[in-house]
Structure 1
């Protein structure tokens, strides 16, 4: 609770006074230095009592830099006073009570007095500088549904509506929670991949037309020959699998070179296409030069999408 004596309203504190105005449609000020957060904007005017117009040049939150005291305040060019809109306070769920010598702003839900102003020169004013800022004021009843969506851990709008209906969250605004747009954070954090359906047919017509390749390791238990890596090659047509054991990953190309010469002589077919992931053991200058020289098409699966190379990935899990 903040108390302000009439004696405090000297010349030095006039810039900190906020006048409660029933004829003001929005909170507004002309002092840009008061904003803890400000978004510049173009367009829009407010009309003063003498029908003069002031240009709106921004909107933001008034505060002490660590917490917001008043939210949704307009920055109006040329405005000489700080005005609090009574209608905007009431829309946010507050009750404003005027007495002969002072005014009180209360939270309707818990009947707590959050601000007390005093009458001076026939107007009611609140001195914001006297407020300690430990508790948030005028913002706990924020009417932006998507802000409450973020405050409540990106909860579903239907869930927030149910919480609001059952009055399970203190201070939750009585606003209409609708999913009228897409939350970017939810889209990034909750999106899922479409499933990769298995093919019910073989797309190749002969052996060695397409080879699936993958390398896994180092294994905790080496082979009898002291090898820690396994290089798998699966023929797409016959699903025949070759497993080559390696001591180091940099032996991959040389084992592939020996494998190509041997298997093509044995089977009487040439290798047309190979498929692998983007591992550096496959995506390097040696593989590229060899494939270009012998007319082999080297396909790569998309990053972080092992399903596209699922034929050999499934083989790895069974080894």
Structure 2
């Protein structure tokens, strides 16, 4: 019996043909009966599909009635076809609470399930271990920290294409030959760096840098705290617009907290400045 309908190769629905009592006094109803397995694998017939059943169970008497012989020892149970003598199921080394666990065999000599894979190819182990460094894998092998890891020479004798692609640095952006703006203050770049290791005589730790895209003119303001950025920028906007006779159109910054906050956004929206953000990790 089983509760998994996907295991069946053939299945005929029944109208609650009996029930199975569970240990907690609940019932699971038999809703279908069918066969599991198909050639070249063994076929077990008349398997019940039971509602709410969480395990797949094989009855010894059921197998005996269908012409199978069962042999039990301490840590092994073998089921053979009585007519041919070939092994159908075999439970080896897996016994949980007096229940023997079986794995389907394709034939008497060849297992249909792979439980272990061995290889002495260093590049294959490099990929299995998440593209770890060969020196790291060599230390794991030497100190016997991974079960099944062979004691071989782990050397970087081949090039891993995945590692080359993912560890490659980004190519630089090409320089522009033409200026994209037509007047001063049309686009301003801004950034903040700090805190510096050495405090200035005026107690400043940060530098607020603003660059005009059209003229490449640069303003640098020294700040004691990061949260002074907005107040310094408000003063700068009033001063530079009066001085140059132009209005600021766009500003561009990174996603630093001193630029991306509610107060800074409200100031830009109030004065009509379009605030653009650069892509992360892209100078």
TM-score, normalisation: structure 2: 0.50
Q: Which one has the bigger helix percentage? A: 1
Q: Which has the higher contact order (CA 8 A, sep 6+)?
A: 1
